[in-house]
Amino acid sequence: MELGLQGKWALVCAASKGLGKGCAKALVREGVHVVITARGVEVLEATAAELRALNPAVDVRTVAGDITTPAGRAAALAACPQVDILVNNAGGPPPGDFRDWDRDAWIAALDANMLTPIELIKATVDAMAERGFGRVVNITSGAVKAPIDILGLSNGARSGLTGFVAGLARQPRLASRNVTINNLLPGPFDTDRLRATMQGAAAKSGRSIEAVMDERRALNPTRRFGTPDEFGALCAFVCSVHAGYLTGQNLLIDGGAYPGTF
């Protein structure tokens, strides 16, 4: 399917690895110029080289910085000639017990997983509406639909973003101008973050990481984890010209792990 994205510009946040990188790869394959961000310069540049090799016809720009800070966001926006596609992403908050979290822990989670996407949306959607095309994809989590006890900071902050987006996406001044805003909710995907979590669980239980990962795979109906490429393919479709009537939605991509009908 021709996605109709050739020549568009995308800002893909937190994209040197994992799900963000999967989205950047899928967009680059479709001829989209990208600005990718991450804090670590080395991996970011290596990813940029991979993207350029994937499609030499596109412009791939890098911005090293923390997207959860005003300076990081300003630099990312300045590097993108126009933002036709915005993929909001950042690291997830740490797991733990809510009894141990103080106000600073909550503010950090809200900054990263709620207020940063909202700031970037604020900086880009009205210009998208003027041009008559815009796609915002927020990478959230399956934990928004089925909260995970130890990820309370994530459950809370991402639910705040989800509620906000549900209202904003339905504003006629955006929706009627072909600007869509959707959330992608990943279940378990094989990324560094997932491996780090499994490593923690393995260390705690005295088992090998392979044993813990096998156990987690067995819990999923597909008996495997998702791949960043699969995630990126969904992102690219949601950004495509065919998806203009899809807005304000929470799209779960989890191998069927969520047990409900809806």
For ligand NAP, the binding residues (CB under 6 A) are 14-20, 37-40, 43, 66-68, 89-92, 139, 141-142, 186, 188-189, 191-194
Nearer to ligand NAP, 19 or 175 (CB): 19
86 beta partners: 11, 136
d(CA 204, CA 192): 18
Tokens found for residue 1: 């399917």
Whole-number minimum distance, CB 89 to ligand NAP, in Å?
Answer: 5
Whole-number minimum distance, CB 6 to ligand NAP, in Å?
Answer: 26
Please report, in angstroms and rounded to a whole number, the separation of the first and last CA atoms in the chain. 27
Q: Name 25's Cβ contacts closer than 8 Å, sequence gap at least 6.
A: 50, 51, 54, 228, 229, 232
Nearer to ligand NAP, 32 or 253 (CB): 253
Nearer to ligand NAP, 162 or 191 (CB): 191
Strands 85-88 and 9-12: parallel
Nearer to ligand NAP, 152 or 188 (CB): 188
DSSP letter assigned to residue 98: G
Amino acid at 92: G
Whole-number minimum distance, CB 140 to ligand NAP, in Å?
Answer: 7
Nearer to ligand NAP, 7 or 94 (CB): 94
Using the Cα atoms of residue 97, residue 100, residue 106 and residue 107 in order, give the sign of their dihedral.
negative
* φ/ψ of residue 66, rounded to 5: -90, 110
Whole-number minimum distance, CB 93 to ligand NAP, in Å?
Answer: 8
Whole-number minimum distance, CB 65 to ligand NAP, in Å?
Answer: 7
